[in-house]
Amino acid sequence: MCCAASAQKCSISYMTTADFKSKIWNLQGTEWQYIGHSPVVIDFYTTWCGPCKRLAPIMEELASENCGKVIFFKIDIEKEPELARKFGINSIPTLMFIPVSGMPGMLQGLREKAELQGVINKHLLNK
């Protein structure tokens, strides 16, 4: 008998600039306007970045544990330099936390899972 009640697993999707424009913000104008309906965390990274590689499994755990509440994406800034420029990303990893309403927040550098869950709870889930 299988697992109807087993934990749902959500994974992190890779995002392009086109995806960002259609799911997050169309980048028109200077005023932020989130077009989605769920809170989002975006991990800006590169494939060669050591701290980014160490952060990846933490982000996977957070995506799984916040499944159905928060959507997680990854953006490779070497493949999507327009987004890196738009948000002034010059240090990686950089995480963007996008609430359903209000302005996004950003954190730079490798962080502990508990700290990141705290940011998600406070700024995205209003806990």
Considering the candidates 2, 3, 52, 67, report the single residue annotated as catalytic.
Answer: 52
Considering the candidates 2, 3, 49, 67, report the single residue annotated as catalytic.
Answer: 49
- Annotated active-site residue 67? The verdict is no
Cα separation of 44 and 106, whole Å? 10
Q: List b or e across 75-90, with b for residues whose CB sees 16 or more CB atoms inside 10 angstroms.
A: bbbeebeebbeebebe
Distance between the two ends of the chain, CA-based, in angstroms? 36
- Annotated active-site residue 2? The verdict is no
Catalytic residues: 49, 52
